[in-house]
């Protein structure tokens, strides 16, 4: 189940969060997460103590890295990647999104966590499946991996042009009826559902996936939206996962 914490102003998954694992999908109330000061302020006001915050450059790739601490810096930024996994504790993995899909992974048996950011490009390149593969490569079993899919643009607001529609059709032929709906003469893509289906394909159990039909563009009160917001009001929300 996805819950909202009105004090921390984050959504979180009851599948992932417990005494040893903390994670969340931030709202716009936390400020623009591209500004690292806002991220640091969140962890300190939430009283989450950490050694190193791990950020990614986020280039809409399907690159996945494993994080191992190098020099004990407070902030580490991994270049040219959109997915990261780690076994380290007190090391929050953070992504920033505003319409793209943030996904949190936790394998409590192998004690490994991960986070990824996928818009249409990363979704098409199957980054979510590459995250699962990376965790398996490092010793996880698919049936032990818990997943939380965070707030992203809903099919209600995500119309795509014909070229992109045909690109998706080519790549995900079997899913086209599920992931597309026609509205106002244009195809609308359900990016969250596509990620959900691809995770199931990768061997994740249905009951191990938490998600909620958010729409970042419809819900202006809680979320920033790349499609909706004008430049001066635009920001991105942070999502994070950490082993305590
Ligand atoms: Zn919407």
Q: Is 19 inside any structural domain?
A: yes
Residue 71 CB neighbour total at 10 angstroms: 6
Look at residue 171 and tell me if it is in a domain: no
pLDDT digits (tens, 9 = 90+) for 48-63: 999 999 999 999 999 9
Mean pLDDT of all residues belonging to the chain: 96
pLDDT tens column, 15-74: 999 999 999 999 999 999 999 999 999 999 999 999 999 999 999 999 999 999 988 899
Please count the structural domains in the chain: 1
Place of tokens 């939430």: 46
Distance from the alpha carbon of residue 192 to the mean position of ligand 1, in angstroms:
12
Residue 148 — very low, low, confident or very high, per pLDDT cuts 50/70/90? Answer: very high
Banded pLDDT at 93 (limits 50, 70, 90): very high
Say what the alpha-carbon torsion angle 21, 27, 33, 37 is, to the nearest 10 degrees: -80
Percentage of the chain lying above the pLDDT 70 cut: 100
- What is the number of residues in the chain? 244
In a domain, 85, yes or no: yes
Domain annotation covers residue 175: no
Dist. CA 186 → ligand 1 center (Å): 15
Is the separation of the CB atoms in 202 and 143 below 8 Å?
no
Average pLDDT over residues 191-200: 97
Q: What is the CATH number of the domain that holds 69?
A: 3.60.140.10
- Residues, CB-to-ion distance under 5 Å, ligand 1: 154, 156-157, 215, 217-218
227 Cα–ligand 1 center, Å: 10
Domain of residue 210 covers 2-153+191-243
**Inside any domain, residue 63:** yes
3-state secondary structure of 128: helix
In this predicted structure, the answer to whether residue 213 has a pLDDT above a threshold of 90 is no
Q: Is residue 230 part of a domain?
A: yes
pLDDT at residue 72 in the model? 85
């Amino acid at each position: 189940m996805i819950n909202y914490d009105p004090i921390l102003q984050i959504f979180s998954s009851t599948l992932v969060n417990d005494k040893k694992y903390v994670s969340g999908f931030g709202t716009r109330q936390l400020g623009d997460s591209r500004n690292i000061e806002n991220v640091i302020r969140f962890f300190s006001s939430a009283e989450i103590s950490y050694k190193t915050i791990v950020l990614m450059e986020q280039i809409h790739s399907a690159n996945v890295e494993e994080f191992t601490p190098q020099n004990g810096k407070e902030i580490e930024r991994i270049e040219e990647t959109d997915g990261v996994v780690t076994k380290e504790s007190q090391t929050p993995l953070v992504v920033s999104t505003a319409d793209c899909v943030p996904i949190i992974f936790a394998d409590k048996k192998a004690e490994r966590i991960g986070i990824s950011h996928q818009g249409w490009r990363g979704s098409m390149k199957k980054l979510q499946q590459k995250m699962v593969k990376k965790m398996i490569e490092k010793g996880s079993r698919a049936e032990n991996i818990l997943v939380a899919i965070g707030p992203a643009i809903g099919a209600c607001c995500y119309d795509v042009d014909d070229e992109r529609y045909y690109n998706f059709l080519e790549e995900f032929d079997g899913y086209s009826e599920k992931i597309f709906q026609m509205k106002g003469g244009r195809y609308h893509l359900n990016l969250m559902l596509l990620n959900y289906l691809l995770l199931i394909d990768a061997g994740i159990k249905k009951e191990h996936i938490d998600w909620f039909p958010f729409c970042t563009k419809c819900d202006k009160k809680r979320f920033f939206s790349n499609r909706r917001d004008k430049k001066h009001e635009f920001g991105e929300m942070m999502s994070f996962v950490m082993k305590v």
